[in-house]
Structure 1
Amino acid sequence: MDLNLRDIRALVAVAEAGSFTRAAERLHLSQPALTVQIRRLEEVVGARLFDRNSRNVALTPTGRELLPLLRKSLQDMENVLRDARALGEGQSGTIRIACLPTFAASALPELVIDMKREVPRVTFEVRDVVASTVNALVRNEEADIGLTGGDVLDPMLEVLCTGADRLVAVCPGDHSLARKRRVSLRDLARASLVLTAPGTSVRAVVDAALSESREPLDIACEPTYMMTAVAMVRAGLGVTILPETARELRAEPGLVAKEIDHPAFLRSIAIVKKRGRTLPAIAERFVMLMRRAVEK
């Protein structure tokens, strides 16, 4: 027979009340039921814990030695139960998210602030990486949720929500394309290009769109990160194509973003989790916030 929380709580209540009657009232039990709990605890310990007569109840020497140990155990277990309940109800916990750098630098900070306002005890582990790495982190359970780009073809991932990022052409303010109201596919095909590296979700969209042009492309360089692409454009190496939500664009007042007059320059984005895995309640709450940013 093992110690259980109810029996420990019964001993502490009787010791503090000095009476089976008062302890039973405090625990909302009948006195016979409380007596059974104390006897069961005494059987587990193998010693008498209370001396009792018709007038009072007193701890035995063994009971006095056990009381502080059992009181601490009771407090520890109640803390564990409280923390477990908070986790189960989404009132605490860690949100492990992998996401595209554009999302991490645009919508995510505001979403984290909103979540912390609702759940002050929440913590975040954020991995801002390219789409293929987002998918791998979620698939390998190193992240619970992911915000990825491009078509989600991995059968191990479940799509929870989808949206889209419009891509824009970015060039210096004195570039010839900066004078155009809209940039055409032909304009891009004839420009010197700074494109994000193959394997990135933006590059996949750009390659598919530019494949309609029959002209050979002039690709000056292929950085992995958007900030690097922006720096290359600022230096005069060419024109880049980035999501219009990218904060890197706002940090460069000398650059302009031009709408591309072609429907193919849209990057699909999606919130994903590993198929067949249950999300922590806290992550479920955060997904609800993310949906508003992704679906708008």
Structure 2
Amino acid sequence: MDVSIRQARALVAVVRLGSLTRAAQALGVSQPTLTVQLRGLEEALGLTLLDRGVRGSLPTAEGQRLAEAFGRLVGDFDLLVGEAREVAAQRAGLVRLAALPSVGTTVLPEALARLRAASPGIRVLIRDAVAHRIGALVKAGEVELAIGTDMGPEPELRTELLLRDRMVAVLPGGHALAGGSIPPERLAREPLILTDPQSSVRVLVERCLSMRGLPVSPAYEVTYMSTAIGLVRAGLGVAILPSSAVDAALAPAVVAASVDAPELEREVLLIRRAGRSLSPPARALAEALRLAARGGG
């Protein structure tokens, strides 16, 4: 016969309260029901746990030892159940998220602020990653959610559109090309500051220039967009970056200009594993990201 959590609670309550009557009241059961639970526990274990007499029920040595051990187990059990209920109610839990560095300055902070206001007990661990690494992190189960771009057919992944993001030219203040839409042919004659070849931004830029028979030969190649903007600020060239990333980072010495190339636009996606349910905390984060991307209230 198996031992149940109710039986363990029954023994703990009787030993702690020193009375079957008080224990039954504390557990919200009748005294006969409590007696049946205790006898069932003794039968399951093959032990006498309580000595019953005119002075009430007193724990045997083994009953005392088990009551103390069961008390710890019941406490841990109740704690786990309580934590699970908090997670289910989207009030607590942990979400691992991979994200493009470019969304880290705009959409993601706004989403996290929304999430904290609604569910302050949810923690989010963030991994910055270039586009080609995003899908691998999700498929490997290292993150539950990701913000990335379309890098080709991935049957193991499920995606949904968060936002569309235009690329812009980032120029030193007072540059001759500032103030209008820049043709790619003219832009290609500038010393270009481009992102890592494995980034989604670089893929778009190379595709745009290649379509027009223009060479892709950056003067500088960087991993972080903040570095690219710093080089622009120093007058070392012109960067092509997502508008979502540069809005919050521009300084008076740096300006943004549109590029006359409709293909310089990317879809930023919310990515998860196909066929897998999101945890309640991840669902809460996903909804906060959707609201932030829409600019909704």
TM-score, normalization: structure 2? 0.88
Deviation at 1:294, TM superposition (A): 2.9
Counterpart of 1:41, as a letter, is L
CA–CA distance in 1 between the matches of 2:105 and 2:122?
20
Partner of 1:109: 109
* Pair 1:284-2:283 in alignment: yes
Once the two structures are TM-superposed, the CA of residue 248 in structure 1 deviates from its matched residue by 7.8
SS in 1 for 2:188: helix
Distance 1:234 1:18, change over 3 A: closer
Tell me the secondary structure at the aligned position of residue 195 of structure 2. Answer: coil
| Partner Cα distance (1:247, 1:193) in 2 | 16
Q: What does the per-residue CA deviation read over 1:112-151, in whole Å, with 9 as the maximum and x for residues that have no partner?
A: 2332332232222211111111121111111111100245
Deviant stretches of 4+, over 6 Å:
none
How far apart are 1:205 and its partner, in Å? Answer: 1.6
Contact 1:194 1:219 survives alignment (8 Å)? yes
Structure 1 segments unaligned to the other structure (5+ residues): none
Q: Hey, what does 1:219 align to over in structure 2?
A: 218
The 5-angstrom pairing of residues 146-157 of structure 1 reads 146-157=146-157
1:215–1:42 CA distance, 2 compared to 1 (3 A):
closer
Deviations along 1:22-64, one digit per CA (max 9) or x if unpaired, are 4334333333322221011112333222233467333334333
CA distance in 2, matches of 1:150, 1:142: 19
Identical-residue share of aligned pairs (%)? 38
Q: 2-side partners of 1:73 and 1:292: how far apart?
A: 42
Aligned to 1:38: 38
Counterpart for residue 254 of structure 1? 253
- Uncovered stretches (5+) of structure 2, i.e. residues with no partner: none
Task: Establish whether residue 272 from structure 1 lines up as the match of residue 268 from structure 2.
Answer: no
TM-score normalised by L of structure 1: 0.88
8 Å contact from structure 2 (residues 193, 219) kept in 1: yes
Retained in 1: the 8 A contact 2:206–2:216?
no
- On the 8 A contact 1:152/1:159 being kept in 2, the answer is no
Cα distance between partner residues in 2 of 1:177 and 1:209:
19
1:82 aligns with 82
Q: CA deviation at 1:96?
A: 0.4
Deviation at 1:183, TM superposition (A): 2.0
C-alpha distance 167-50 of structure 1, shift in aligned 2 (>3 A) = same
Q: How does 1:100-179 map to 2 (within 5 A)?
A: 100-178=100-178
Distance 1:251 1:190, change over 3 A: closer
Q: Which residue of 2 aligns with 1:194?
A: 193
> Is the 1:227–1:248 Cα contact (8 Å) retained in structure 2?
no
Match of 1:73 in 2: 73
Q: Distance in 2 between matches of 1:116 and 1:295?
A: 18
Size of the aligned set, in residue pairs, is 295
Contact 1:226 1:248 in 2 (8 A): no
Conserved 8 A contact 1:156-1:274: yes
